[in-house]
Amino acid sequence: MTPENNVLIGIDWADSKHDFHLFAPDGNVQTGIFRQAPEAIAEQIQSWRNDHPGATFAVAIEASKGALINALLQFDDVVIYPINPAALAYLRKSHRHGGGKSDPVDARRIAEFLRERMDELRPLHQDSPLTRELAGLSEGRRIAVDARADLANELTALIKQYYPMISGFSAAKPYASFLLSFLIQYPTLATAQAAGEATLRSYFHGLNMKRKADKLAKLIVSAKPVTTDSVVLRCSSRRAIMIAQQLQVLNKHIRSYEAAIKELLPQHPQYAVAASMPGTAANTQARIIAAMGDGEGRYKSAKSLQCASGIAPITEQSGKRKFVIARWACTKFLRQTFHEMAGLSITKSRWAKAYYEDQKAKGKPVNTAKRALAYKWQRILFRCWQSGTPYNEDRYIESLRRAGSPLYAKIQTLA
């Protein structure tokens, strides 16, 4: 975009309407409001085009996704600059120390922010449809997994209160399919014992649990109730059935997400690089692709990746005091991706295990050690992504040997 042809627009968005403040190349200012409706947005864009033929519209907005963003992305002459809300909050306070806020004024502040710092801001870039779909699937799956974890914890706590015998099933996961099916079929110990040992044995056979069928049937029949209060049993069992059915639905959709990810993942041009990261399976590989973006990626340097993901720490200095703290201003899903990737690599990468053990030996907490490991992995991943070359463990360890890295000696002690 050439500066003399830029129309700078700040938008203070809302659910139903949006205030805008426009700076034209000739210095004229325009303000107004338009509705959150496809036809209203199209009409507003056309109005700007009529007033400024051939111009490029640089739009600053405190969002990177949403209905308005989706609508604006359809116009080739609109370039979107997402603004960090925290940055605008500090700017707003610098003008109004006592607080105070209005949509038209906020739109003007956003436009002024864009005018003053446009060279420092990065326009919103849309990845390829495949990358965006993998990103959407990964995020959707994670939301479902987190919801499942919350419900599973709730169910576990509830079962302890009225049906502790189920803990004797020794299910690997509290949302295991067989456990949920049993709980829905027999929501109280009394209903299970009333079915009888033979019926219970047949039930577990039907769940393909022949090896455990006899043991579980005997366990149920001989169990003693923790309570016989009919009110507690009725209320608790009703709630347990509700949670179990919700978990069944989440299990189904999580499997669906994972199947879609596995189908699309090999089609991505950077799949080989993502798949070469030690310890990663399909879900983590998809998250790596979502984090890094298309081609050479969305980051100018490994440092920008480390900062954007929150893996790089922050150094604060005031007078003689200097200390390092964790970086919390980041996308949590992005930080989680690399933190989990580092954890997975420990079991499959020799140098990663040696580095992690060395960090713990220095007294670092587990999460701090993993974050430090993720910091190193991001440098490696960035280089691999830039060149399109899959990671090679032996080649990297050899480079450590040639460089005389102390880590190489530690790798030998673990071999």
312 — pLDDT class (breaks 50, 70, 90) = confident
- Rounded to an integer, the average pLDDT of 239-250 is 98
- Tell me the two tokens of residue 173: 């996961």
3-state secondary structure of 114: helix
Rounded to the nearest 10 degrees, the angle between the axes of helix 282-292 and helix 129-162 is 130
Query: Per-residue pLDDT for 382 more than 80?
Result: yes
328 — pLDDT class (breaks 50, 70, 90) = low
- 34-83 pLDDT, tens digit each: 999 999 999 999 999 999 999 999 999 998 889 999 999 999 999 999 99
- Rounded to an integer, the average pLDDT of 228-257 is 97
- The sign of the dihedral angle between the CA atoms of 32, 36, 40, 41 is positive
221 — pLDDT class (breaks 50, 70, 90) = very high
- Rounded to an integer, the average pLDDT of 229-258 is 98
Query: Per-residue pLDDT for 316 more than 70?
Result: no
Range of lowest pLDDT (160-174, 266-280, 306-320, 363-377): 306-320
Total-model pTM = 0.85
Percent of the chain predicted with pLDDT > 70? 92
Query: Per-residue pLDDT for 298 more than 90?
Result: no
Question: What is the predicted pLDDT for the residue at 249?
Answer: 98
Query: How far is the C-alpha of 134 from the C-alpha of 357, rounded, in Å?
Result: 33
- 402-411 pLDDT, tens digit each: 999 999 999 9
| C-alpha distances out from residue 241 to 91, 98, 116, 295, Å | 51, 52, 58, 48
321 — pLDDT class (breaks 50, 70, 90) = low
Name the residue among 288, 298, 296 with its Cα closest to residue 265: 288
Give the start-to-end residue ranges of the domains of the chain.
3-120, 131-264, 296-414
Query: How far is the C-alpha of 137 from the C-alpha of 152, rounded, in Å?
Result: 22
Query: Per-residue pLDDT for 148 more than 80?
Result: yes
- Rounded to an integer, the average pLDDT of 167-182 is 90
Looking at every residue in the chain, the average pLDDT score rounds to 91
Class of the domain covering 131-264: mainly alpha
125 — pLDDT class (breaks 50, 70, 90) = confident
Task: Find the distance separating the first CA and the last CA of the chain, reported in whole Å.
Answer: 55
Query: How far is the C-alpha of 335 from the C-alpha of 179, rounded, in Å?
Result: 33
> For 3-120, which CATH superfamily applies?
ATPase, nucleotide binding domain (3.30.420.40)
CA angle in degrees (0–180, nearest 5) for 64-68-69: 35
Question: What is the predicted pLDDT for the residue at 374?
Answer: 96
| C-alpha distances out from residue 236 to 184, 227, 231, Å | 12, 11, 8
